Chains A and B, each alone.
Chain A
Amino acid sequence: MNNVPSQSPTNSEDTQRQRRGRRRWGLRRRILATFATGALFMAALLALTTYGLARSNVVQQREQTSIDTAKRNAQTVQASLRGPAATYQPALDALETYGVDQALIWYSGQWSPGSGRYVSTALPQGLVDRVIEDVVPARMIVQIGGEPHVIVGWPLANDAAYFEFFSLGEVADTLTSVRLSLIVAGTITIVLSVFAGILAARRAVRPVAEAARAAKSIAGGRLDTRLEPENDPDLGVLANSFNDMAAALEQRVERDARFASDVSHELRSPLMTLEASVEVIEGRRADMPERAQAAVDLLRSDVTRFRTLVEDLLEISRFDAGAVRLHLEELLVSQFVEQAIAVSSLPHTPLTSSARAQQMIITGDRRRLARVVANLIDNARIHGGSEARVSIEVPTHEGAAQQLVHIIVEDGGTGVPIDERHLVFERFARGGGAGRRSSNEGSGLGLALVAEHIRLHGGRVWVDDRRDGHSGAAFTIELPAEELEEA
């Protein structure tokens, strides 16, 4: 129950903290705690009841036999006292023949001496009064020498009385072993129910765990993830509404992606006309007045830019729709990068690679990875002062499970400020205020596409400063690689 009586309802922060505190007790733990507490309670109740019953039973039985024995012995004593003797001695002798020594006899105002602990002073006054004064048989449980005893007193004729001591030591022993076995049984019960609790908790939490897994999978981009339909009507509601939500989400994402794709698709036809027409005009550039030439140049460069934008937009919408399939093949990194640079916008970009890097093979989609290199070189051309250098390195991570290769593109621009480094891979994130807007060329999607392509290849890409101390950015692509086996 949510008992926060002393707090005002407006103090929501505290309430929230309280709730958080409770939430830390997860469902599984709560089920377990319930099982454990229940088991503890039941075991204790059962043990106490059993013990109580056993105890009263055993003690009663012992008392009854004590009374019977004492009665029999008292009759023997009575018979002995009926004789000529005026002392209790013959009675004691008679008792001895039966092996009874834990007895006292009151006769003509005198106590028999008793033996050991069993002397007249050990008798409680109440019992003596009851038997001798009131002349009724009585019994009483007393501690003698730290051991419980039942003392049974029988009044006899001639103002005599017989008292016998019965040790309850055995009974106590019996009860101790009963107690022990109850404790053991109780402990076993609790342990078993904790196990049962763990199983029950796991069962109860399983659908929740599955839902969590499915949600995570959806968040990770696998929008077609669904929960298995449950037979249980309670859990069925969860599964059904989860699946409905997932379907709605998938539809929504697909619609958005399709829209972007449709838009760029529709733009292709007019672009085709533009492209061909500009080419025709360009062919007559030499015959044009100067102003028209300038206009044609502008037209040409913006048609190209427009085309890049549409192509990039289409490509990225394909990523969003999850429609990109890689055409994987093994590539020798150094050879591949060399070829990729040759077809890029700065084909004379210098390439250096370490001896080890030249032995590295990556598994990738050649044309997409070439696009990645081309985009990074475009970026260097546009934002990095048209200066680029590419190097291939093998990072030295001792004991790493997976070999890696780094393709690093460095430029001669102003670099990327630290707080913008994670932003440059966002869509349409043109190098912000730090003077990187040297030109409006580029689609604004180039680096976002780089990030998507590399992610699809199981790699990473990041940007930091040039390592030789000069101003400029260094874009690093990290890809899983393998070393070429020596033939």
Chain B
Amino acid sequence: MPVGTRILSVEDDERIRQAVKLALEDEGWTVDEAGSGEEAIELFTRQPAEVVLIDIMLPGIDGFELCRTIRRTSDVPVVMVTARNDTHDIVAGLEAGADDYLTKPFAPKELSARIRALLRRTRPSSTPHARLALGDLELIPDEGKVTRSGEEIHLTKTEFRLLCELADNPGKVFSREALLDKVWGYDYFGDGRLVDVHVRRLRTKIEADPANPRHVVTVRGLGYRLQT
């Protein structure tokens, strides 16, 4: 485990912030704290963290807005903390650019496990893929780069990892469960919405017409595959 990895924890409730910081430090992380979105942005620009933990309910700039702001400049893994298991909040959080989410109250150990899974997938893949060309799209796993018509496309680490998993076996259908397991490290009961929203985000970046995807194709009732 990478000791000393910096986590920026954004939470307006001071007691929760303190308790979570204590628990996360016990797990070996270094924790920076921010009590508001504004404070978080200032802190993040001064000293970028390696993982950001954002509570959706924040005074001033809310969690969604903060997430979008961070995403404009960084592909750092973001975990959203939602107050309720509400589809609207979760999907909105993921669309704002979050990589994963947790519902309050969560066990800090579970959060650590999620962060580890996120960091694992943002680090260079252990089995580097060869370059892969798909029409106008070119995937260069070793460099963590994707180009369309020669131009580099900016993907978050999770989007890149998702594309790599699909590219691992082009033409093969991957079920949501399989992708949850490979990309997020979830079991059979992971949330399929994670996959769906990330696929949607990926399409807006790599497809010429996201409404009629030609690369990442939905296979009704089964999952997704990469069109060769």
**CB of B19 within 8 Å of the partner chain:** yes
List residues 255-300 of chain A with CB under 8 A from any CB of chain B: 265, 268-277, 279-280, 283
**Contact A279/B107 with A273-B15, A339-B188, A343-B189 known, Cβ cut-off 8 Å:** yes
Query: In the bound complex, what is the Cα–Cα distance between A310 and B189 (angstroms)?
Result: 21
**CB of B172 within 8 Å of the partner chain:** no
Stretch at the interface among B20-28, B114-122, B200-208: B20-28
Query: In the bound complex, what is the Cα–Cα distance between A77 and B107 (angstroms)?
Result: 136
Docked-complex contact B189 and A280, CB < 8 angstroms? no
Docked-complex contact A271 and B189, CB < 8 angstroms? no
Docked-complex contact A307 and B105, CB < 8 angstroms? yes
Q: Which of B19, B84, B104, B109 contacts A277 (CB 8 A)?
A: B19
CB neighbours (8 Å) of A329 from chain B are 192, 221
* Distance in Å: Cβ of A339 to nearest Cβ of chain B: 4
Docked-complex contact B19 and A280, CB < 8 angstroms? yes
**CB of A366 within 8 Å of the partner chain:** yes
Docked-complex contact B83 and A265, CB < 8 angstroms? yes
Q: Which of A283, A310, A342, A370 contacts B26 (CB 8 A)?
A: A283
**Contact A330/B16 with A276-B108, A277-B22, A307-B105 known, Cβ cut-off 8 Å:** no
Task: Count chain A residues whose beta carbon lies closer than 8 angstroms to a beta carbon of B.
Answer: 28
Closest chain A residue, CB of each to CB of B19: A276
Q: Which of A273, A279, A342 contacts B109 (CB 8 A)?
A: A279
* Distance in Å: Cβ of B17 to nearest Cβ of chain A: 9
List residues 137-189 of chain B with CB under 8 A from any CB of chain A: 187-189
Interface mask (B87-125 → A, CB under 8 Å = 1, otherwise 0): 100000000000000001111110000000000000000
CB neighbours (8 Å) of B191 from chain A are 367
Main secondary structure of the interface of A (DSSP, over half): helix
**CB of A22 within 8 Å of the partner chain:** no
CB neighbours (8 Å) of A342 from chain B are 187-188
Task: Count chain B residues whose beta carbon lies closer than 8 angstroms to a beta carbon of A.
Answer: 25
**Contact A268/B221 with A280-B23, A283-B26, A339-B189 known, Cβ cut-off 8 Å:** no
CB neighbours (8 Å) of A273 from chain B are 13, 15-16, 18-19
Query: In the bound complex, what is the Cα–Cα distance between A270 and B105 (angstroms)?
Result: 9
* Distance in Å: Cβ of A371 to nearest Cβ of chain B: 9
Interface centre among A265, A269, A325, A342 (most CB of B within 10 A): A269
List residues 36-50 of chain B with CB under 8 A from any CB of chain A: none
CB neighbours (8 Å) of B193 from chain A are 327
Docked-complex contact A265 and B22, CB < 8 angstroms? no
**CB of A70 within 8 Å of the partner chain:** no
* Distance in Å: Cβ of A302 to nearest Cβ of chain B: 14
**CB of A43 within 8 Å of the partner chain:** no
Q: Which of A270, A277, A279, A327 contacts B192 (CB 8 A)?
A: A327
**CB of A424 within 8 Å of the partner chain:** no
Closest chain A residue, CB of each to CB of B221: A330
**CB of A390 within 8 Å of the partner chain:** no
CB neighbours (8 Å) of A276 from chain B are 16, 19-20, 22-23, 108
Interface mask (A445-474 → B, CB under 8 Å = 1, otherwise 0): 000000000000000000000000000000
Closest chain B residue, CB of each to CB of A330: B221
List residues 300-319 of chain A with CB under 8 A from any CB of chain B: 307, 310, 314
Other than the known A279-B26, A339-B189, what 6 A-B pairs have Cβ atoms closer than 8 Å?
A265-B83, A279-B107, A280-B23, A280-B26, A283-B26, A307-B105
| A contact residues vs B (CB 8 Å cutoff) | 265, 268-277, 279-280, 283, 307, 310, 314, 325, 327, 329-330, 339-340, 342-343, 366-367, 370
Closest 6 CB pairs of A and B: A276-B19, A272-B105, A339-B188, A271-B105, A276-B23, A273-B15
